[in-house]
Structure 1
């Protein structure tokens, strides 16, 4: 294999880590260029305080941080002083229990402490101001510039070059591929691969090649006190840090020692987006171009709260400070991936020191091996919808991400702005029914309908339970969703499925293309529907798709979002196939429940009896005067159809179906009911229950892999894959009022062995159901416990599906 020539733009913590990871894998023809001096280049790395707290609600980001800690400890570039997060309110104390659960789920050591135990770790604390704390002994301080230097030296020993004072001003293209870079001196440096690890300059580099890199450079305040007498008396003068790094998130603050002084970081000030056009002027006179002048008035509240928490600071003052620049993104995740329109140009941006080595490892695996070993869909460059790539959206949401860095964010909390960007043709009718909307992928999605509140009394009389929820699990939720789910099982309901991403794949090679790209056999007769998967080169599940063959050369593909389109377009580059995103021009109503055929049959031109229109079949026909495509599929596990039409007929379709459903007491139902019903039926949600880290059999979707058909992406890896240690299983909670929300640790006999992915209350069995990754050998009937906030619930591993295992409901 010919070794590629690789250029990395940026010699900060990401670029140096990537050079080290690439050269360790045998890619030694690597050149790292930076506009600043080596190795304190003047970017975010050079002033980073270096705090590394590993625990994160994202398993991926936790794994990145864990690898960073392990690597930097081995490089003698990490002070493992531990981390301490304190709670000054009952709400934060409860949230620290939730964070402790994440740590257990992801394998990070951590302990909840009372106030006195916290003070034993940090004697500066006023114990009367805190409820308790969460201590993580393996966290600490990355010595960022040393980490850069050591990794660069290792890479150079293997053949890499690092060159400072070389600003990249142009990405060179040739023959539709990246060909190198041009520097400010006019020199062209050739390369097969160019990686932008330029930090907050990365968005500007992306613009040069027509790529939106959705990040906002944001200023963040950091100050240092004068000498703190308690630190001097403790004999710590001259030592960088001995106490755990400290977070006081109730007031958006963090702290670390600098010998006998204390460093204070603050997120509570107003968002301060940086104007890159005036950056060099604005930072003139500062120590480096990533440091803006300190705005003292923005820090007043930070100092007040710091003295309150750490009273010895009252004897000193802020001695120096600056507003340091680093990158924020709309969702708080990093940005990784290859430019689809310019092969060979990669980005690794918006990466904090905390995750730097982990991101670099995943990038190196991606470039060299074709797929990272860690799931990176949350960080993928192409995860954003079109609206989310607009400058207004990026600025507004990235600013909000800054505000929420230390907020207690509910897992079902959706952004408050921008809203109403994408609405279905039924939106006005849904509002009339009192829909409570949440936002996902810029779509307004009904969670439940106030109109259905009247069903609660009726169903309660019939014996349906509506258990109360605690304050946390009751947020962004309504008992109406229980009524909607039960009503679907007993009557019929209409679900707005418009936000389901849809692509049309057409052309002479459309079938062959989908056969190569996906796991199941889609080369079936016209009118067939197939459930299939896309895998990566390691055999991991990249997505699940519903493919309807509407003609010999035309397919409708139900997908999960923009990442699926990106993968299809990459694979379609040399095929006679066209791929169109038809989501916005179409709409869909899911009609499901035992009375679904009674509702739809009188309106349908075609015979929709079970004998004429079987399960997993598709038909282009009419409902009333409306041309529709009907798919007999059901994610809720009930009789019914997904009924698609183009957007101009959408309002008429909704009204036609809703009016026809009145004799059958049809209702509109929301996404919470939808989720609980799909869990009853044992259906997985990609990105939550399964990702690229999971093989199909382990995720319970091995039935979607046809081993008899020809080769497909990932098949070679599946053919040699060993049995996995964990399998996705359904668990049913013993207590009728037990509720979990996802990511909680699951234990057997007191030992944590897995974690919850998603959960929902089953109105059919009157218990909560959850999916959990558990040891493969765990038998049905095994007892497990799940830690939820400050309590523990017992549950039992259940055979799947929990409801209707014989599929009788769906095949009526």
Structure 2
């Protein structure tokens, strides 16, 4: 990458980490601007207690945390470490929590982290002060510990300075100049800085910086209670800051860490305490730093009693000091990273805890220098939020909800409670009348199953797999009945939320899409093709469906807002190509199943004569009075149509299709059964079974790559990756126990060695067994090899599917 002038706003741990790694990658001409002093800036870095619990049910967050630990270990000087590897204990006071810790230990193996489930007695040996009377046990992670971010910042900044990076403290950003959609200058209290690229690392002040360029940074600052106790007798002889493991007691929403001879205690138990950015003062305007609000003693009364119960010796110590420290929450609990689609050159690294800080800095540097990070950051991308989620009414409520539930046991299908009904399809009232159970999908209310189909449960009773335990949470046997019925007859599903709908047209549209995709998209008008988009390092950005509707007009279905924003970013400023996001104004309905052809023929014999349709065809036509784009292809492995029309005509289309299908036993089909059909049909899904860390050949999608094309993004890198021996292979496995089904992300073991992890999991009714897709080490993928899955601490045997059993349709 050519050297650009970079201005980083914020000299906390994230800003300094990003500068540090940019410098390590050979990038100079960096200026870091900080409104507070260098380097105890007054932001969250300054008061953070530094606890690093690495294992998360998110692979990306676990990896960022692990990278942060490794970085901090290296950033030590004069016997003063930036990281204390003292380990961590998560305690369980309920049977449900203890089971969740077993699950978490398994997830740790999936992500390459070592963790051990301990008895109450073993927990007490790690931290003798705790009362084990009410404990079921705990989870011990030996590589966790305490970070000292200010020490790390000092070392990073000194290295950056030696590379020519300039730091300016007590310098307030007062404005940002944007010309033709590109950042140009940063205006400050000490003068103007010209720049090609800005990285906003301003922490909870980030939204204020975003406003200067018209970019919403959807985070909510929250005050969080933390106290320091007086000395404890059992710690009286300690001379090190911390030698005992961290403790997280999620059943009481609290955590603990040693601070020399006392204990630091944090609580999420109290009422939400949101803070408006406009209320946060500058450094020096009050006794405490800006990131600290006055301690509210009444909110700590119950947490203190819980602390005394867990660590009885605290009764003799008492509280020395308490703060309400401010840090950031987002609507989905993930950081905000990357370049904004709205303004070129405006990058953000926001809503990041110390736990993930150095990992984020490394990833940001890779992204800026190489065009893509080595770690997939799609779930963190700032562009993942459509306009609906940029409303303060949406993201503030959802962020507060995330704060309230931060220590809850989270199920992957647990629906959010706040900021609902912000996007509804034209079919919403019909779906409600059929008893739809809704969850949110890209902001849309998306039916998971329909209570009106309960009658089918009795019909398929002898075939349905009854789920148990964790797999049965937020589940209904109706899901299985819908899946079975659609295979035998037909199902109609709401496709509105499933994809972003883009119309790409104008002079050069074909050449643009040829450059963007791996497959040949120079297809006849009325044809459909599936293809991949790769980033510069040949990782898969998305699998998309392209419909050619005219010579220079294409209808593109991509996964979501991140992928759509990436497509738009590839357009040059002078391009004559027009990209219209048609998502909000269009709705979609799919009809699939064995009777789909008969249903459509009975509705319109002329337009839906079978002789007129082949797989991979599309037509613009009328169904009754409704103008639709009809796309005939394989969906979740089953042939059928998806119909797209404008929202004003969607309800009429729903009624016509459902009425026409009544004689053929067509049902309204929920999202969960649709996912079950996908997995049963051996169809992989972008973002679920593969993502931007993977190339097409690792995940069985090499057939979508046409190396005869002159060029496409990532082509040269893909040739190099193809020549190298792959470290992963997407493989399908069948569980030996026909009554067993798992949920996803569990580790796969070859004897006692971790060989990979599960991506998707479901049930193949045609075979009568549970199926999983897993990313595995290639050396274990051999016919006849028996592996096992660890699920809640127990092992279940799985067999590698014979390739002849698998028919993959995309």
How does the TM-score come out when normalised to structure 1?
Answer: 0.96
Secondary structure in 2 matching 1:128: coil
Relative to structure 1, the CA distance from residue 393 to residue 607 in structure 2 (aligned partners, 3 Å threshold; closer, same or farther) is closer
Q: Which residue of 2 aligns with 1:37?
A: 37
Q: Which residue of 1 aligns with 2:557?
A: 558
Relative to structure 1, the CA distance from residue 174 to residue 668 in structure 2 (aligned partners, 3 Å threshold; closer, same or farther) is closer
Residue from 789, 792, 804 that aligns with 1:789: 792
Q: Name which of structure 1's ranges 41-50 and 451-460 shifts more when overlaid on structure 2.
A: 451-460
Asked if structure 2 preserves the Cα contact closer than 8 Å seen for 1:5 and 1:191, the reply is: yes
Q: Which residue of 1 aligns with 2:404?
A: 403
Q: Which residue of 2 aligns with 1:224?
A: 228
- Superposed CA RMSD in Å reads 1.7
| Distance of 2:285 and 2:277 partners within structure 1 | 13
| Distance of 2:626 and 2:466 partners within structure 1 | 43
Question: Post-superposition shift, 1:274?
Answer: 1.0
Asked if structure 2 preserves the Cα contact closer than 8 Å seen for 1:756 and 1:773, the reply is: yes
Secondary structure in 2 matching 1:628: strand
Q: Which residue of 2 aligns with 1:192?
A: 196
Secondary structure in 2 matching 1:277: helix
Say yes or no: does 1:249 pair with 2:257.
no
Secondary structure in 1 matching 2:114: coil
Q: Which residue of 1 aligns with 2:205?
A: 201
Say yes or no: does 1:148 pair with 2:150.
no
Say yes or no: does 1:613 pair with 2:613.
yes
Q: Name which of structure 1's ranges 170-179 and 157-166 shifts more when overlaid on structure 2.
A: 170-179
Question: Post-superposition shift, 1:664?
Answer: 1.1
Q: Which residue of 2 aligns with 1:354?
A: 355
- Residues 626-665 of structure 1 deviation map (CA, whole Å, 9 limit, x = unaligned): 2221111132222321122221221111111111111111
Relative to structure 1, the CA distance from residue 704 to residue 801 in structure 2 (aligned partners, 3 Å threshold; closer, same or farther) is farther
Q: Which residue of 1 aligns with 2:544?
A: 545
How does the TM-score come out when normalised to structure 2?
Answer: 0.96
Q: Which residue of 2 aligns with 1:728?
A: 730
| Distance of 1:523 and 1:281 partners within structure 2 | 57
Residue from 739, 742, 757 that aligns with 2:759: 757
Question: Post-superposition shift, 1:41?
Answer: 1.1
| Distance of 1:129 and 1:782 partners within structure 2 | 43
Secondary structure in 2 matching 1:15: helix
Asked if structure 2 preserves the Cα contact closer than 8 Å seen for 1:530 and 1:546, the reply is: yes
Q: Which residue of 1 aligns with 2:17?
A: 17
Asked if structure 1 preserves the Cα contact closer than 8 Å seen for 2:546 and 2:554, the reply is: yes
Q: Name which of structure 1's ranges 132-141 and 568-577 shifts more when overlaid on structure 2.
A: 568-577
Q: Which residue of 2 aligns with 1:486?
A: 484
Q: Give the gaps of 5 or more residues in structure 2.
A: 77-81
Asked if structure 1 preserves the Cα contact closer than 8 Å seen for 2:207 and 2:277, the reply is: no
| Distance of 1:275 and 1:175 partners within structure 2 | 31
Question: Post-superposition shift, 1:608?
Answer: 3.4
Q: Which residue of 2 aligns with 1:684?
A: 684
Question: Post-superposition shift, 1:691?
Answer: 0.7
Question: Post-superposition shift, 1:420?
Answer: 1.5
Question: Post-superposition shift, 1:210?
Answer: 0.4
Question: Post-superposition shift, 1:69?
Answer: 0.4
Residue from 472, 475, 480 that aligns with 1:474: 472
Q: Which residue of 2 aligns with 1:457?
A: 458
Asked if structure 1 preserves the Cα contact closer than 8 Å seen for 2:283 and 2:289, the reply is: no
Say yes or no: does 1:110 pair with 2:115.
yes
Where do 1:310-389 residues align within 5 Å? 310-389=311-390
| Distance of 1:329 and 1:780 partners within structure 2 | 45
Question: Post-superposition shift, 1:421?
Answer: 1.6
Q: Which residue of 2 aligns with 1:91?
A: 96
Secondary structure in 2 matching 1:796: strand
Relative to structure 1, the CA distance from residue 45 to residue 547 in structure 2 (aligned partners, 3 Å threshold; closer, same or farther) is same
Asked if structure 2 preserves the Cα contact closer than 8 Å seen for 1:448 and 1:481, the reply is: yes
Q: Which residue of 2 aligns with 1:516?
A: 515
Q: Which residue of 2 aligns with 1:180?
A: 185
Question: Post-superposition shift, 1:107?
Answer: 0.6
| Distance of 1:704 and 1:685 partners within structure 2 | 14
Asked if structure 2 preserves the Cα contact closer than 8 Å seen for 1:283 and 1:290, the reply is: no
Question: Post-superposition shift, 1:800?
Answer: 5.3
| Distance of 1:349 and 1:393 partners within structure 2 | 18
Asked if structure 2 preserves the Cα contact closer than 8 Å seen for 1:214 and 1:329, the reply is: yes
Q: Which residue of 1 aligns with 2:714?
A: 714
Q: Give the gaps of 5 or more residues in structure 1.
A: none
Q: Which residue of 2 aligns with 1:444?
A: 445
Asked if structure 1 preserves the Cα contact closer than 8 Å seen for 2:341 and 2:383, the reply is: no
Question: Post-superposition shift, 1:359?
Answer: 0.3
Secondary structure in 2 matching 1:689: coil
Secondary structure in 1 matching 2:471: coil
Q: Which residue of 1 aligns with 2:79?
A: none
Residue from 752, 763, 766 that aligns with 2:768: 766
